[in-house]
Chains A and B, each alone.
Chain A
Amino acid sequence: MPDPASIRLSYRDVIRRFDRLTCAEEFDALARATRAYQKERCTVYRRYAYEYLPIAAFKHAPVTSFPPEEAVAVFESSGTGTTGRSRHYVRDLSLYDRSAQTHFASVFGRGPFTLVAHLPGYAPQSSLVHMVWQLIAAYGDEASGFFLEDPSLLERAIAHSRALTTPLILFGAAFGLLQLAATEQWRLPPSAIVIETGGMKTYRQHVTRDELHRRLAQGFGVDRQQVRSEYGMCELLSQSYTRGGSLFYAPKWMRVDAFDPAEVEHSLPEGVAGVLGVIDLANIHTVSAIMTEDLGVCRGGGFEVLGRLSASELRGCNFLVEDV
């Protein structure tokens, strides 16, 4: 077998093979090809002298490796506070669908599931709404769907899941699920899985993930192991999921590392908290290496998200708990 490092790969190879990786060397080779392609094609990335492009770039300019007017969709972030919205120009939605579906199936199986979603406040054109629709289309049964104003859909889905013994998956924004759980005591089927997609920061509520999961498990009548988290963002086409603990696991085509916030080119060893940097090969048409604004720590093949780490927080005492 030829040394993967010696093979000259193109962006077409990345598109063809990103979700069929077999080893870390193959990831490295595709990541090199991706970086070379994007440094050549993406003006913002070419001008940027470092590898991981800060996520804030998506708020200020089209970050694309193709003419932005050729985008078939533009995903927008929720744009909290005084900052603008991120815009992710998508050239090929099938890459997003492939990435989302393949990883979802590898974590939860191929279904069919009774897959219901509760994403209040999310615009129809948000990447999360698109992703959940795609998952419903791929793995959901006829009782699947979104419910916003009509909780009876959830009741019908529960009844359907119980009757047909189809596993139920409840997908939802953290605050939406908390509100839902507060309205009544739900009893989901024993095999049900609740997946929270984050979003607490919008509501400025001080709830740890541990506490959130405890409340969701109690509110929906499921074991805590069955409450999962999804880590995704509008700037990335891939997602990570927890598997019953606090660690997120990325798909094989996505690499997550922690970096020193003060010197972002220095990656940190396992167990040391830093700002999370992601390489998402599915982002081939934009920029794959993104420096997030999330504080996290890598360990055991996964990563834990500890909270937000905006530039302004670096002025304060953001590492207080980790440092004392």
Chain B
Amino acid sequence: MKIQNDARYAKSDEWVRVEGGVAVVGVSDYAQGKLGDVVFVGDISVGSTLKAGDLLTSVESVKAASDVYTPVSGKVLEVNHEVTAKPELLNSDAFGAGWLAKIELSNPDELNGLMSATDYAEYRKE
């Protein structure tokens, strides 16, 4: 299980990394491992405003479907069309090429409510 140190994590296995005031959101390497080969990543609409915990999208493997929730509130600025076209990116590079959306942080304090990499590693210890 890979864990990225500069990201914060939600209990439902999403990660968020702040890059120049913008939150990049994805699902953790642990979650993609549990799902198995990802075959579908649902569309996310650019411009929609979400509250932390709202449904962001859903991802599917051949044996499971999983809802992905945004760990932070804000407006969706950009989505990763590459991962919707090639869902396997979520398996090969969950923290990099497999990112899902960029969100304009409306409440940066929410980050404090998320887990650190160390806490998340402990939380998902096998």
A binds B: no
List A residues at the B interface (Cβ < 8 Å).
none
